[in-house]
Copies of this chain bind each other. A is one copy, B any other.
Amino acid sequence: MSRVATELKTALGEAGHRLTGPRLAVWDVVASSRSHLTAEEIAESVRDRDPTVNLSSVYRSLSLFAELGLVRESNLGANEASHWELAHSDESFHLRCTSCGKVEHHTGDLVTQVEHHLSHHHGFHASRVELLVHGTCAECAATS
């Protein structure tokens, strides 16, 4: 059993879930990608390895992984499919270029500052922060 397979099996086992073919295939795709993929895109890659895996199982695997904190689901736009990736902290937020569509990450302490401010001054205890910045990336600004 490969390295990633063992890691996934451990994470699943601790939560009382089984390691199955579809789950491993979905995990391999998400863990080896650096981009934000839709369930359909993940399913396409999964089918390369095993064409019998159903789209429903891809959704079920992704939902389970999200519950276990293994992946992150993001809404990058109204009425768009969710995008999935390996889990990363709220500190690392999303910059989406409205021109080329690229999604970049930016990490700063801003999110932590907001969390502390809300907690100390307003009694609001943050569990998850989603920060999405739409705009024009450096490359697109230079080109236009």
Contacts and interface: CB of A to CB of B under 8 A. Distances in A.
Contacts of A138: 122-124
Interface stretch (A3-11, A14-22, A29-37, A71-79): A71-79
A88 interface: no
Contact of A110 (B114, B136, B137): B114
Interface stretch (A40-48, A49-57, A127-135): A127-135
Nearest to A104: B124
A10 to B, nearest CB: 27
A138 B77 CA distance: 29
Given A126-B133, A128-B134, A82 B73 contact: no
29 contacts: A73-B78, A75-B75, A75-B77, A75-B78, A95-B118, A97-B124, A104-B124, A106-B124, A108-B114, A108-B117, A110-B114, A110-B117, A114-B133, A115-B133, A118-B135, A123-B141, A123-B142, A124-B133, A124-B136, A125-B136, A126-B134, A126-B135, A127-B134, A129-B132, A129-B134, A130-B130, A130-B132, A130-B134, A131-B131
